[in-house]
């Protein structure tokens, strides 16, 4: 991991995500890019307008000062420990603005909060986070309020026994090694699923051929209350991180529960959520 992109709206809700981004940048000796997305009033939005250009420059200057003060307030002087830079982008779509810079800087990870200060624009709310999870070209770490990463002792990976899961777990292992963390590979399914135990054994064999990480366990749970069971498992194992693979068209949870529950998951899960995109 060489480049981490963190986006903020300056709210206290985004502070745990900042701490998490800083910790990961320090652990991986990675560059941390701190960014803010802003827009301007519609009546000034003409790209050829001199007023527009002047206002854009003014907003960038204002936000640069505000962002530096935000970082100093909560991290002190992180530039003494990591390579850090500041980026600003004007875009009416927050997730699109973040994605634009993630591509430009070839980011290995995007870090955002799951709640923000502006419900109208849904900055760092379920809508923006969900859009990033579904469309980002790199993994996305969504950090709930009050749940920043201080250490990663236990990671829970929610699998659906697919080949793409093996690829994602291999990428997760590289993070786990930095923290000497345990990886718990979990499959929760309804009682109607056929041959769940046989699939788990097949998946374990396939995974063991691809990775030699020893601190890994496997768990199969049958339940019709997928979301409830997941939350209980995260609490029971004192999980520090939930990891899932975003598949084209659906993800682990959309196979069994209504699509609006995915947004519920993003907004209600109380541990950081790391999403790999297939």
**What are the domain boundaries of the chain?**
3-143, 154-277
Average pLDDT of the chain, as a whole number:
81
Q: Judge residue 177's burial from the number of C-beta atoms within 10 Å of its C-beta, 0-12 exposed, 13-18 middle, 19 or more buried.
A: exposed
pTM: 0.84
pLDDT per residue over 224-260, tens digit each? 887 788 888 999 999 999 998 887 655 555 554 444 4
Q: Judge residue 34's burial from the number of C-beta atoms within 10 Å of its C-beta, 0-12 exposed, 13-18 middle, 19 or more buried.
A: buried
Structure tokens at 150: 């201080």
Give Cα separations from 153 to 20, 69, 134, 146, 178 (angstroms): 14, 32, 27, 17, 10
Compare 17 and 123 and report the one with higher pLDDT.
17
**Does this chain's domain 3-143 share its CATH topology with 154-277?**
yes
In the block, residue with structure tokens 């709210």: 11
Residue 120 pLDDT greater than 50, yes or no = no
Instruction: Please identify, in words, the CATH class of the domain defined by 3-143.
Output: alpha beta
Residue 24 pLDDT greater than 60, yes or no = yes
Helix (H, G, I), strand (E, B) or coil at 166: helix
Q: What CATH number does the domain located at 154-277 have? A: 3.40.50.620
Pairing of strands 241-247, 273-277: parallel
Average pLDDT over residues 179-200: 84
Q: Which helix (H) or strand (E) holds 252?
A: none
DSSP code of residue 137 = S
pLDDT per residue over 149-179, tens digit each? 778 999 999 988 888 899 999 999 999 999 9
Give Cα separations from 36 to 73, 207, 242 (angstroms): 16, 39, 26
């Amino acid at each position: 991991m060489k480049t981490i992109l963190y986006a903020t709206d300056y709210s206290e809700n985004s502070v745990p995500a900042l701490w998490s981004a800083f910790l990961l940048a320090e652990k991986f000796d990675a560059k941390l890019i701190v960014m803010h997305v802003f827009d301007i009033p519609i009546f000034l939005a003409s790209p050829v307008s001199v007023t527009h250009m002047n206002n854009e420059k003014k907003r960038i200057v204002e936000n640069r000062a505000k962002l530096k003060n935000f970082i100093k307030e909560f991290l002190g002087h992180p530039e003494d420990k990591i390579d850090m830079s500041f980026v600003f982008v004007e875009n009416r779509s927050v997730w699109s603005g973040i994605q634009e810079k993630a591509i430009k800087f070839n980011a290995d990870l995007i870090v955002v909060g799951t709640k923000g200060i502006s419900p109208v624009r849904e900055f760092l709310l379920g809508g923006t986070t969900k859009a990033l999870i579904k469309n980002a070209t790199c993994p996305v770490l969504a950090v709930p309020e009050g749940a920043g990463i201080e250490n990663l002792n236990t990671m829970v990976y929610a699998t659906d026994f697919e080949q793409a899961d093996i690829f994602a777990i291999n990428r997760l292992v590289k993070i786990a090694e930095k923290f000497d963390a345990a990886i718990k590979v979990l499959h929760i399914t309804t009682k109607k699923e056929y041959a769940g135990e046989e699939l788990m054994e097949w998946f374990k064999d396939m995974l063991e051929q691809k990775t030699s990480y020893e601190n890994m366990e496997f768990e199969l749970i049958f339940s019709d209350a997928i979301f409830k069971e997941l939350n209980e498992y995260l609490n029971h194992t004192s999980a520090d991180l939930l990891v899932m693979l975003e598949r084209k068209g659906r993800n682990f949870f959309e196979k069994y529960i209504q699509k609006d529950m995915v947004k519920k998951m993003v907004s209600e899960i109380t541990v950081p959520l790391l999403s790999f995109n297939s």
